[in-house]
Amino acid sequence: MKTLYLFVISVAVLLAGIGSASAYTTPDSLAAAGNVYISGVTYDPGAFFTGDKGTVSISVTNGNRNQSVVVDHATFGDDDIRLMGDPYDVASNIGPLQTRDYTFSVAADVPDGHYYPRLSLSYRDAGSLYYPAAVWVDNTPLVLAVIDSPDSYTDGKKNTISLQIANPRKAAVKNAVLDISGANADILPASTYIGSLPAGTNTLVNFSVTPNAETTLNVTLRYDNGDNHHSVSRQIPIQFSPDKKDATPIVSNLEVKNTGGVFKVTGDITNAGLSTANAVTVTSLSPAEPADPYRSYVIGALKPDDFGSFTVTFNAQNQTEVPLRVSFKDNDGNIIASTQNVTLPRFAAQEKSGSGSSLLPQAVGILALIVFAGGWVFYIRKHKE
């Protein structure tokens, strides 16, 4: 009898437990769970690089107008898109016509491609909901392209370079910053904040560079994909060569004279280039010492094929050659200079000055006057005889 009694009690407890567990599952709860649907999926970032970490927010909506549903477990991910945090293990209520967001931290340690990690929702009063949420892994970087640059570079001349920054990815990036550096060059601006760059768009960034020697510019674009830092770089070589469109002053018709120990050089300058040479100036360089009255000579602006004359004076004791410096400003205000050597003859033509230079003409005049007077007197006397 005792054994039979214990068996009856055990069956009664088991039946009571089954009845208690199934008390929540009703036709109404099953109907309510059947009206739950996924109303939105948002990834941040919108497209992952391999190795990126991010979040996925999934909006779950209860479409039932009268009854709530209770979710007691939610998780997300698979072998490709890993769940990094903990799943939702605390029961949460979604009221009639209400929406609840579930946010999960994930990592994408997979190659390029489409992946379908799964959302799993377990209801307290019904079964479960499974939903594959597509995610894109794309390793396409942003693009740096030089779309405009000078045909040539010149020492000390400012030039403008235009860069195009393009985002060929499937989603936007943010916090984009362009940095430019290079030895022996003045760069302005050296850093440019671009900010967000939506998918499939591009923007232009202009900067100026004034090289003081041949160099290489290092261009780096830093940006964030979600909270993941990325960058892309390229180099721009700066090599000097003649500018085919620049002004080209040519010195010609040089004459050298020695005036009382001071050398005077005269000549012409012709602009053989295709741009205007502004503020053309001529002066002598060491070992010459500029002297008055023409320590330097300013011709001014010379248009293409135009010319102007100049005169410079200097002292150059015991020298056989002296450099002349010809400088001008281009349209950007850069000063461009060149030198040309002038040969000083050992016996340069002398221009006499003061009383010494006027004695010969005076003596000739007096002699001519004496000859004329003597001839006149001789004629008078002869006539009288």
**29-137 and 249-350 share one CATH topology?**
yes
pLDDT at 220 over 60: yes
Which amino acid type is present at position 274? L
Using CA atoms, how far residue 282 sits from 269, 298, 305, 349, in Å, is 9, 6, 18, 22
**Residue range 9-22: average pLDDT?**
34
**Residue range 173-196: average pLDDT?**
97
**Residue range 28-42: average pLDDT?**
87
CA terminus-to-terminus distance, the chain: 203
What's the confidence (pLDDT) of residue 372?
62
User: What is the percent of the chain with per-residue pLDDT over 70, rounded to a whole number?
Assistant: 83
| Contact predicate 251/268, CB 8 Å | yes
pLDDT at 195 over 60: yes
| Contact predicate 231/177, CB 8 Å | no
Whole-number Å distance between alpha carbons of 312 and 325: 11
Confidence grade of residue 13 (pLDDT, cut at 50, 70, 90): very low
User: What is the percent of the chain with per-residue pLDDT over 90, rounded to a whole number?
Assistant: 68
pLDDT at 31 over 90: no
Q: Token pair 């500018």 is at which residue?
A: 243
Number of other CB atoms surrounding residue 120 within 10 Å: 14
Which amino acid type is present at position 73? H
**Residue range 303-313: average pLDDT?**
95
- Give buried/exposed letters for 70-86 (b at 16+ CB in 10 A, else e): bbebbbbbeebbbbeee
Q: Under CATH, what is the fold of the domain 29-137?
A: Immunoglobulin-like (2.60.40)
Give the dihedral of Cα atoms 146, 152, 158, 160; nearest 10 deg. -20
CATH number of the domain located at residue range(s) 249-350 in this protein: 2.60.40.2230
Give the dihedral of Cα atoms 231, 234, 238, 241; nearest 10 deg. -150
What's the confidence (pLDDT) of residue 154?
85
Confidence grade of residue 204 (pLDDT, cut at 50, 70, 90): very high
Among 258, 266, 314, 312, CA closest to 290: 314
Q: List beta partners, residue 156.
A: none
What's the confidence (pLDDT) of residue 330?
84
Phi/psi of residue 381, each to 5°? -65, -40
Confidence grade of residue 132 (pLDDT, cut at 50, 70, 90): very high
Whole-number Å distance between alpha carbons of 208 and 189: 7
Least confident of 148-162, 248-262, 339-353: 339-353
| Whether the model pTM is above 0.75 | no
Query: Is omega for the bond preceding 293 within 30 degrees of 0, making it cis?
Result: yes
- Phi-psi map region of 348: left, alpha, beta (phi>0 left; psi -120 to 50 alpha): beta
What's the confidence (pLDDT) of residue 382?
58
Question: Is the CATH code 2.20.25.90 the one for domain 143-238?
Answer: no
| Contact predicate 109/84, CB 8 Å | no
pLDDT in tens, 350-383: 444 444 444 445 555 566 666 566 665 555 665 5
Q: Which helix (H) or strand (E) holds 367?
A: helix 359-384
Q: Which of 64-73, 87-96, 171-180, 376-385 has the highest mean pLDDT?
A: 171-180
| Contact predicate 49/137, CB 8 Å | yes
Whole-number Å distance between alpha carbons of 38 and 62: 9
Number of other CB atoms surrounding residue 321 within 10 Å: 11
pLDDT in tens, 287-304: 999 999 999 999 999 999
Q: Taking the domains of the chain in order of start, what are their residue ranges? A: 29-137, 143-238, 249-350
Whole-number Å distance between alpha carbons of 260 and 265: 14
Least confident of 222-231, 268-277, 352-361: 352-361
What's the confidence (pLDDT) of residue 264?
94
What's the confidence (pLDDT) of residue 10?
32
**Residue range 214-229: average pLDDT?**
97
